[in-house]
């Protein structure tokens, strides 16, 4: 198990290193004159030279990339024009627009997006896996057909459509819920939950559809295997077969999909955050793209990649705990 964990950890580090190189090339090298983007279209030659010096863009590319990696690992100093500001590790740069350290900006938005993702993640796992189990158990009956149509409809419906319907019905028409908003958990846990309820439900309804189909497919494959027929021949109850044996066959693909979704959702919940007015990482990323604030864009994409790699590493660990043969592969 120790060797398995070391191999997975080493692979995760290599993936993150490759991700930093790709992001740096796309956002800092490919656009051309980054100093011109920062300085603006009316920038004078003197101002352009000053910005180039402050950002150290006159250094060779490998030196610039080395400074970028140094900031992530050990921190670095930035020239502000009037002095020098130290950015502690992990330093992802300084915003071109607000002069705020990107790491601090992300840390301020991370609890907001984290609250959204964790609540929705629990909802779509419970709803999706539960629906998939029920659909496989009631195969060939009306229940299965109804659940199949519902999951197909959920997969084809955009999140903003479901979100708007929920707001119209529960906030405007019935007035059962307040308008979605974000209140920090430490300030008021009850308002925190009520403010995120509709975003949680919207994401859970959309994402649970593919988990339901995946769970149903994996369970039907398991139920068709020879050892399940043997259990039935010995008189083992159908509920025991479903809960103890068939469900285990659906664990591996669900873990793989949930690891990917959990990581990407930290940067991919843009529509949900914009629709419900949640000031998370997704909305901040959209604003940074509009303003061509490259350090913020790179930092947030890198953080999203980190969560994807972390989630997949945890998924590998769960594989190893569930099936020791994975450790030997």
Instruction: Determine how many CB atoms are found less than 10 A away from the CB of residue 144.
Output: 16
What is the Cα–Cα distance from 279 to 298, expressed in whole angstroms?
Answer: 19
pLDDT tens profile 156-182: 788 888 888 999 999 888 888 888 888
Of residues 154 and 258, more confidently modeled? 258
What stretch of H or E contains 44?
none
pLDDT at 287 over 80: yes
pLDDT at 82 over 70: no
Burial class (CB in 10 A: 0-12, 13-18, 19+), 83: exposed
What are the sequence ranges of the domains in the chain?
A: 31-91, 103-327
pLDDT at 121 over 80: yes
Q: Is 85 helix (H, G, I), strand (E, B) or coil?
A: strand
pLDDT tens profile 296-324: 888 888 888 888 888 888 777 776 666 55
Question: Which pLDDT belongs to residue 234?
Answer: 76
What is the Cα–Cα distance from 280 to 274, expressed in whole angstroms?
Answer: 9
pLDDT at 41 over 80: no
Its pTM surpasses 0.85: no
User: Mean per-residue pLDDT for 215-233?
Assistant: 80
Question: Which pLDDT belongs to residue 46?
Answer: 80
With a CB cutoff of 8 Å and minimum separation 6, the contacts of 220 are 136, 139
- Length of the chain measured in residues: 329
Cβ proximity of 164 and 271 under 8 Å? no
Range picked from 34-48, 118-132, 217-231 for highest mean pLDDT: 118-132
Of residues 83 and 308, more confidently modeled? 308
Longest dimension (CA), the chain: 86
What is the Cα–Cα distance from 118 to 14, expressed in whole angstroms?
Answer: 27
User: Mean per-residue pLDDT for 201-226?
Assistant: 84
Min mean pLDDT across 122-126, 187-191, 232-236 is at 232-236
Helical residues (DSSP H) of the chain, grouped into ranges: 2-24, 34-39, 45-54, 61-74, 102-137, 142-156, 159-166, 189-223, 226-233, 238-241, 247-249, 251-268, 270-276, 281-290, 294-322, 325-328
For 140: left if phi > 0, alpha if psi spans -120 to 50, otherwise beta; the answer is left
User: Mean per-residue pLDDT for 278-302?
Assistant: 86
What is the Cα–Cα distance from 251 to 41, expressed in whole angstroms?
Answer: 54
Question: Which pLDDT belongs to residue 200?
Answer: 92
What is the Cα–Cα distance from 271 to 82, expressed in whole angstroms?
Answer: 39
Question: Which pLDDT belongs to residue 42?
Answer: 74
- Give me the torsion for CA of 174, 176, 181, 186, rounded to 10°: 180
CATH of 103-327, one of 1.10.3720.10, 3.40.50.2000, 3.30.460.10, 3.90.105.10: 1.10.3720.10
């Amino acid at each position: 198990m120790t060797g398995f964990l070391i191999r997975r950890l080493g692979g995760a580090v290599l993936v993150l290193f490759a991700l930093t190189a790709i992001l740096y090339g796309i956002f800092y090298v490919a656009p051309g004159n980054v100093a011109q983007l920062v300085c603006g279209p009316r920038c004078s030659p003197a101002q352009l030279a000053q910005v180039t010096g402050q950002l150290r863009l006159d250094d060779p590319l490998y030196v610039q990339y080395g400074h970028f990696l140094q900031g992530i690992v050990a921190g670095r100093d930035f020239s502000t024009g009037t002095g020098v500001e130290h950015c502690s590790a992990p330093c992802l740069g300084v915003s071109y627009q607000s002069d705020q350290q990107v790491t601090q900006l992300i840390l301020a938005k991370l609890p907001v997006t984290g609250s959204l993702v964790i609540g929705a993640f629990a909802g779509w796992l419970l709803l999706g896996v539960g629906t998939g189990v029920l659909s496989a158990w009631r195969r060939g009956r009306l229940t299965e057909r109804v659940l199949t149509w519902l999951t197909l409809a959920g997969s084809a419906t955009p999140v903003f459509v479901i979100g708007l319907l929920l707001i119209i019905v529960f906030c405007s028409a019935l007035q059962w819920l307040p308008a979605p908003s974000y209140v920090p958990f430490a300030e008021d846990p009850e308002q925190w939950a009520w403010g995120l309820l509709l975003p949680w439900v919207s994401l859970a309804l959309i994402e649970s559809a593919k988990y339901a189909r995946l769970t149903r497919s994996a369970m039907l494959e398991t139920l068709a295997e020879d050892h399940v027929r043997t259990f039935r021949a010995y008189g083992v109850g159908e509920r025991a077969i479903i809960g103890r044996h068939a469900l285990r066959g659906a664990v591996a693909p669900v873990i793989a999909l949930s690891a990917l979704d959990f990581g990407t959702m930290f940067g991919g919940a843009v529509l949900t955050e914009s629709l419900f007015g949640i000031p998370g990482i997704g909305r901040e990323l959209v604003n940074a793209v509009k303003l061509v604030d490259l350090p913020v864009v790179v930092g947030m994409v890198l953080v999203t990649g980190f969560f994807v790699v972390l989630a997949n590493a945890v998924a590998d660990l769960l594989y190893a705990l569930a099936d020791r043969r994975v450790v030997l592969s």
